A and B are shown apart, each in its own frame.
Chain A
Amino acid sequence: KNQVEQSPQSLIILERKNCTLQCNYTVSPFSNLRWYKQDTGRGPVSLTIMTFSENTKSNGRYTATLDADTKQSSLHITASQLSDSASYICVVKPGSQGNLIFGKGTKLSVKP
Chain B
Amino acid sequence: DTGVSQDPRHKITKRGQNVTFRCDPISEHNRLYWYRQTLGQGPEFLTYFQNEAQLEKSRLLSDRFSAERPKGSFSTLEIQRTEQGDSAMYLCASSLARYDSSYNEQFFGPGTRLTVL
Contacts and interface: CB of A to CB of B under 8 A. Distances in A.
Given A31-B102, A99-B48, A102-B43, A43 B56 contact: no
The majority secondary structure among interface residues of chain B is loop
Given A43-B110, A43-B111, A104 B41 contact: yes
Nearest to A97: B56
Contacts of B41: 104-105
B113 A105 contact: no
Contact of A43 (B48, B105, B108): B108
Nearest to A91: B42
A102 B102 contact: no
Contact of B110 (A42, A100, A102): A42
B102 A99 contact: no
Interface residues of A, number: 23
A37 to B, nearest CB: 11
Nearest to A31: B102
A43 B4 contact: yes
B105 A89 contact: no
B50 to A, nearest CB: 11
B102 A32 contact: yes
Interface string A87-112: 00101010010011011110000000
Contacts of B107: 46
A45 interface: yes
Interface of B: 4, 33, 40-45, 48, 56, 58, 89, 91, 93, 102-111, 113
Interface of A: 4, 31-32, 34, 36, 41-46, 49, 51, 89, 91, 93, 96, 99-100, 102-105
